[in-house]
Amino acid sequence: MLIYLRVLKESFNFAINALKNNLLRTFLSLLGVTIGIFSIIAVLSAVDSLEKEIKGSISSLDNSTIYIMRFSFGPSSVPQWKREQFPDVTYEEYQHLKRDLPDLKAASFIVNVNSETLKHEDKSISNVEVVPVTSDYYDIEELQVVKGRFYNEQESITGAPVVVVGDEVANSLFGSQDPVGKEIRMYGRKFTVIGVLKKEGAGLFGNSKDTTVILPVNIVRRIFGDSNKFVIPGIIVKPESGIDVPEFIAAIKQKLRAFRGLKPDEIDDFFVNQLQGFTDFIDNITGTMSMIGGFIGMFSLLVGGFGIANIMFVSVKERTNLIGIQKALGAKRKFILLQFLFEAIVLAVFGGVIGLLMVWGVFALVSNFTGDFEFILSASNVFWGMFWSTIIGLIAGIIPAWLASRLDPVEAIRTGM
């Protein structure tokens, strides 16, 4: 065992010296592997970061949460012209499901409206996301109110002019003052602030509940009406934990079809979107991105492997005389084989390390311009980067190393003279 360890050590030292003596050639060989590893790890890490950010932005919602709308979250087999004819869900349908749907934990009616400008005295803040919902939305999305309270069911039903604001909205309009009890203006009306949400930080697209104002849906329904094409309604439902979700979805469809009077041969004119399906859709997209990026990076790495193989063939040719002398002095074939194989692997591993450092440097630089978006260089990506660089070095160096080990000492010395 000690003999083999000594052979490995001597082979490694010999390979390092050979690389030091040909710095330009070493650099050019490293370049191909570096670019390949950089391409693979940068793509995989970017996809991992994007996936984490997307899932983090919806993490407050349970995967069992279901959205009922006339739109689908993902691809649909229903033709677009037919989807465009689907009616919007209504407040009456929300009440029907809330009253009669079994195993229901909470349900909320929501309408999607444009952003608004909020004013308080001489201060204003624009592009505020307005979220008109019923009171159960608090339980569905597990909101955290740090000041004041959320509006109750009675305020929700009557459409009371009250709002709960995000942290950034509160700071922009009220500064160090306590926002609770203060009035703001939007839609040409006065609303009383009754609560402030916990600070979240920026989301994936720069949006979060920090720049949100939540208010009872019925006051917005009175302002816009139920037939306004610029208002998109939806129903959010959350089942009790531990139930059969497909059976629960089937019950939703049955109740809604019966309420709308759809015949057995008619298709559903609504979509029941489960958040789990949305996350699965995200997984499919990120998986495809990873696969495509991996293929692109592997081709780059393959080119780097060819570069190493070419350099190794040249190295064997240049050192033919030296190989002959080593073998004449008693060096065995495995020593010659390991000597050149180590040189190729060291080249590839160095290239991989430089590629990983480049990824880390680029991510650190980009993170300074993306605010709260966090780039991830995971341990698994580092491992696979080093693994593939080692494999490329092994494959690229095996044939030149084998040819070098098979040289006849006399012919090698004669050829090198």
Name the helix (H) or strand (E) containing 14.
helix 2-21
* Residue 56 pLDDT grade (very low, low, confident, very high; cuts 50, 70, 90): low
Using the predicted structure, report yes or no on whether residue 385 has a pLDDT greater than 70. Answer: yes
CB atoms within 10 A of CB 269: 16
Taking 3-state DSSP, the helix, strand and coil percentages for the chain, each rounded to the nearest 5, stand at 55, 15, 25
Which of 122-136, 315-329, 360-374 has the highest mean predicted lDDT (pLDDT)? 122-136
| 402 CB burial (10 A radius; 0-12, 13-18, 19+) | middle
Q: By mean pLDDT, which of 85-94, 107-116, 133-142, 204-213 is the weakest?
A: 204-213
CB atoms within 10 A of CB 335: 17
Q: By mean pLDDT, which of 87-96, 166-175, 307-316 is the weakest?
A: 307-316
Contact 93, 256 (CB under 8 A): yes
Q: Mean pLDDT over residues 377-395, rounded?
A: 77
* Residue 176 pLDDT grade (very low, low, confident, very high; cuts 50, 70, 90): confident
Q: Mean pLDDT over residues 263-289, rounded?
A: 75
Model pLDDT, residue 327: 67
The values of phi and psi at residue 310, to 5°, are -65, -45
Spatial distance between the Cα atoms of 377 and 356, rounded to a whole number of angstroms: 9
Q: How many CA atoms lie less than 13 Å away from 199 in the CB half-sphere?
A: 5
Whose structure tokens read 């160095």?
A: 350
Name the helix (H) or strand (E) containing 76.
none
Spatial distance between the Cα atoms of 369 and 240, rounded to a whole number of angstroms: 42
Considering the entire predicted model, what is its pTM? 0.58
Model pLDDT, residue 209: 82
Which of 193-207, 219-233, 250-264, 393-407 has the highest mean predicted lDDT (pLDDT)? 250-264
Contact 58, 274 (CB under 8 A): no
Whose structure tokens read 């926002």?
A: 179
CB atoms within 10 A of CB 155: 18
C-alpha triplet 314, 319, 324: angle, nearest 5°: 135
Whose structure tokens read 């033919």?
A: 320
Return the percentage of the chain with pLDDT > 70, whole number.
Answer: 73
Using the predicted structure, report yes or no on whether residue 408 has a pLDDT greater than 80. Answer: no
More confident residue, 415 or 209: 209
Q: What is the pLDDT of residues 298-353, one digit of tens each?
A: 776 677 677 777 777 766 766 666 667 666 766 677 777 777 777 777 777 777 78
Q: Mean pLDDT over residues 205-219, rounded?
A: 82
CB atoms within 10 A of CB 137: 22
Q: What is the pLDDT of residues 230-251, one digit of tens each?
A: 788 999 998 888 888 889 989 9
CA 12, 13, 14, 17 torsion-angle sign? positive
Please name which of 70, 75, 144, 155 lies closest in space to residue 111, comparing C-alpha atoms.
70
CA 64, 69, 75, 77 torsion-angle sign? positive
Using the predicted structure, report yes or no on whether residue 51 has a pLDDT greater than 70. Answer: no
Amino acid found at 350: F
More confident residue, 331 or 392: 392
Strands 145-148 and 123-133: unpaired
Contact 245, 239 (CB under 8 A): yes
Contact 109, 249 (CB under 8 A): no
Spatial distance between the Cα atoms of 386 and 250, rounded to a whole number of angstroms: 49
Q: By mean pLDDT, which of 79-88, 114-123, 311-320, 393-402 is the weakest?
A: 311-320
Residues 6+ positions from 376 with CB-CB distance below 8 Å: 45, 48, 49, 52
| 270 CB burial (10 A radius; 0-12, 13-18, 19+) | buried
Spatial distance between the Cα atoms of 374 and 361, rounded to a whole number of angstroms: 14
107: left (phi over 0), alpha (psi -120 to 50) or beta: beta
Name the helix (H) or strand (E) containing 168.
helix 167-174
